[in-house]
């Protein structure tokens, strides 16, 4: 059944800055992690004081914040978890994401009224699994990425009342089934299921026969090796209108390790798509909107399992490098009326003569995707003319002829 007409846009928040940009650019909710118990141990993450501030900041804007507890723990990993769950309940986190039944029961014992989402790490691929978790008290289930559109539709239609369905629509794909991988632990000692994956699936490999040491055989006709497990990135932007009709409650963007530029760009486009599809059931996503998604650092895109089981086209055999055509150049620090000079914090060097584009928060519908100009004059914070902005996070002034909102982002096309 279709249980909602307005699906949630759920964005990653690797730190407080990214959380702010996700909300400013149109996310309805964000998900983040504390210093332990989540699956992105090398993200900045939130200590308890910062997390308390983040919850208050999010709720002040009538948005929601979820915290990940989705590691697959060994016995020693439970130390301190009960106290942490009670802390999350005390600061009024909206929901926690859990993958392990032991963690699930611990949440129930320490925070009986806390809402629980069942993470994709739990391999949620059928309607019976959805019912199982619902009967235990879960309020939402995050479907595995290994599902077709037809399967998502069927599960959405057959779910119990009040059970919400969340599905990933954008971001990196794990080569292993729903993230259940031991390769990193085996090769490096860093356990991906405890939040510390080294991503060895992105490494370059060569084939060597044991009796011919040093003699490497080509894989996929590549003499220097090949990236045999390197998945493309997921992008279901064009399928959002279908997923809305299926009754999916929440569209999730992957990327807690990505930049604020990435979060803002991707969130803004999915916000546009969701709003347009809700206004027009026959809406087709414009190509220009998809083009915007190629302006962030990404691997080539795939729809993965949505239409059929992935073929070789879903992987990058030649390289694990990201496609990066634009540089994150700066953020606007104050609302700007369009007269004079706007104040910018540097995130990447720009010089007089460069062409830049500006994206703004709160843009939707048929509004301009971005503003653009050639940089004619630059000034330091004191008003002295400069030719470039070489210093990290320096404040500078840029002449611009259009009004621009605070938290707008400057990007520069790379040659």
- Structure confidence by residue, pLDDT tens digits, 2-37: 444 689 999 999 999 999 999 999 999 999 998 877
| Residue 40 confidence (pLDDT) | 54
| Residue 223 confidence (pLDDT) | 43
* Residues 63 and 106 both lie in one domain: yes
Q: Is residue 131 part of a domain?
A: yes
Q: In what order do the strands lie in the sheet with 409-413?
A: 371-374, 355-359, 409-413, 326-332, 341-346, 395-399, 378-380, 385-386
* Residues 192 and 305 both lie in one domain: no
Of 402, 384, 404, 406, nearest to 394 by C-alpha is 384
Given 245, 279, 314, which residue is the final one in a domain? 314
* Residues 45 and 194 both lie in one domain: no
Average the pLDDT over 224-241 and give the result.
78
pLDDT class of 45 with cuts at 50, 70, 90: confident
Position with higher pLDDT, 315 vs 242: 242
In this structure, of 120-124, 192-196, 269-273, 345-349, the range with the lowest mean pLDDT score is: 192-196
* Residues 21 and 132 both lie in one domain: yes
**Using one digit for the tens of pLDDT, what is the confidence trace for 348-357?**
999 999 999 9
How many structural domains comprise the chain?
A: 3
* Residues 21 and 120 both lie in one domain: yes
| Residue 5 confidence (pLDDT) | 67
Q: Is residue 222 part of a domain?
A: no
Position with higher pLDDT, 343 vs 307: 343
Q: Is residue 227 part of a domain?
A: no
Average the pLDDT over 55-70 and give the result.
97
What percent of the chain shows pLDDT beyond 90?
Answer: 65
Position with higher pLDDT, 41 vs 169: 169
pLDDT class of 222 with cuts at 50, 70, 90: very low
Residue 310 has pLDDT above 80, yes or no: no
| Residue 200 confidence (pLDDT) | 67
What percent of the chain shows pLDDT beyond 70?
Answer: 81
* Residues 198 and 289 both lie in one domain: no
Q: Is residue 341 part of a domain?
A: yes
* Residues 35 and 144 both lie in one domain: yes
* Residues 280 and 369 both lie in one domain: no
Q: Is residue 321 part of a domain?
A: no
CA atoms within 13 A on the CB side of 188: 13
**Using one digit for the tens of pLDDT, what is the confidence trace for 145-201?**
889 999 999 999 999 999 999 999 998 877 666 556 666 665 676 765 555 666 766
| Residue 159 confidence (pLDDT) | 96
| Residue 3 confidence (pLDDT) | 45
**How far does Cα 290 stand from its chain's mean position?**
16
The DSSP 8-state label assigned to residue 359 in this structure reads E
| Residue 112 confidence (pLDDT) | 97
Q: What is the pTM of this model?
A: 0.85
pLDDT class of 39 with cuts at 50, 70, 90: low
In this structure, of 70-79, 84-93, 294-303, 336-345, the range with the lowest mean pLDDT score is: 294-303
pLDDT class of 142 with cuts at 50, 70, 90: very high
Position with higher pLDDT, 141 vs 255: 141
Average the pLDDT over 210-224 and give the result.
61
Structure tokens at 339: 């007269």
Residue 83 has pLDDT above 70, yes or no: yes
Q: Is residue 120 part of a domain?
A: yes
Question: Domain holding 85: CATH number?
Answer: 3.20.20.70
| Residue 202 confidence (pLDDT) | 64
Q: Is residue 291 part of a domain?
A: yes
Residue 275 has pLDDT above 90, yes or no: yes
Residue 135 has pLDDT above 80, yes or no: yes
Q: How far apart are CA 170 and CA 306, in angstroms?
A: 12
**Using one digit for the tens of pLDDT, what is the confidence trace for 320-338?**
455 678 999 999 999 999 8
* Residues 84 and 203 both lie in one domain: no
* Helical segments of 159-237, H only: 183-188
Q: Return all residues near 357 (Cβ < 8 A) that are at least 6 apart.
A: 326, 370, 371, 372, 410, 411, 412, 413
pLDDT class of 95 with cuts at 50, 70, 90: very high
* Residues 339 and 281 both lie in one domain: no
Give the residue carrying structure tokens 């990447």: 348
* Residues 127 and 237 both lie in one domain: yes
Residue 115 has pLDDT above 90, yes or no: yes
* Residues 130 and 238 both lie in one domain: yes
Report which secondary-structure segment, H or E, holds 24.
Answer: helix 16-24
| Residue 183 confidence (pLDDT) | 65
Q: Is residue 2 part of a domain?
A: no
Question: 207 lies in which domain range?
Answer: 178-217
Q: What is the mean pLDDT of the chain?
A: 87
Given 217, 243, 273, which residue is the final one in a domain? 217
Given 314, 340, 363, which residue is the final one in a domain? 314
Report which secondary-structure segment, H or E, holds 141.
Answer: strand 140-142
């Amino acid at each position: 059944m279709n249980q909602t007409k307005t699906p949630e846009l759920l964005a990653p928040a690797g730190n407080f800055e990214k959380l702010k940009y996700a909300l400013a650019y149109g996310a309805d909710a964000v998900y983040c992690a504390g210093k332990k118990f989540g699956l992105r141990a090398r993200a900045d993450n939130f200590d308890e004081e910062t997390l308390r501030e983040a919850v208050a900041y999010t709720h002040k804007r009538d948005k929601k914040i979820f915290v990940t507890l989705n590691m697959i723990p060994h016995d020693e990993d439970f130390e301190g978890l009960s106290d942490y769950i009670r802390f999350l309940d005390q600061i009024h986190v909206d929901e926690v994401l859990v993958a392990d039944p032991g963690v699930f029961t611990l949440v129930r014992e320490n925070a009986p009224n806390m809402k629980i989402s069942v993470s994709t790490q739990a391999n949620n691929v059928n309607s019976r699994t959805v019912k199982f978790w619902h009967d235990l008290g879960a309020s939402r289930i995050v479907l595995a990425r290994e599902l077709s559109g037809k399967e998502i539709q069927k599960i959405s239609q057959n779910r119990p009342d009040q059970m919400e369905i969340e599905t990933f629509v954008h971001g990196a794909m794990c080569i292993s089934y729903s993230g259940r991988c031991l390769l990193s632990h085996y090769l490096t000692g860093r356990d991906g299921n405890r939040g510390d994956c080294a991503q060895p699936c992105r490494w370059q490999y060569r084939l060597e026969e044991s009796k011919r040491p040093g003699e490497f055989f080509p894989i996929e006709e590549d003499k220097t090796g090949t990236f045999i497990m390197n998945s493309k990135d997921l992008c279901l932007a064009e399928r959002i209108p279908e997923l809305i009709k299926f009754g999916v409650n929440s569209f999730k963007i992957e990327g807690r390790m990505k930049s604020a530029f990435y979060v803002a760009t991707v969130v803004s486009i999915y916000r546009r798509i969701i709003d347009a599809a809700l206004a027009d059931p026959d809406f087709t996503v414009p190509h220009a909107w998809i083009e915007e998604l190629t302006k962030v650092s990404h691997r080539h895109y795939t729809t993965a399992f949505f239409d059929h089981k992935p073929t070789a086209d879903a992987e990058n055999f030649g390289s694990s490098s990201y496609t990066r055509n634009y540089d994150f150049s700066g953020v606007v620090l104050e609302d700007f009326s369009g007269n004079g000079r706007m104040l910018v914090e540097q995130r990447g060097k720009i010089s007089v003569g460069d062409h830049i584009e500006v994206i703004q928060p709160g843009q939707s519908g048929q509004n301009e995707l971005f503003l653009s100009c050639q940089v004619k004059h630059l000034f330091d914070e004191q008003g002295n003319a400069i030719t470039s902005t070489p210093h990290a996070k320096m404040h500078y002034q840029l002449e611009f002829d259009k009004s621009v909102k605070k938290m707008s982002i400057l990007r520069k096309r790379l040659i």
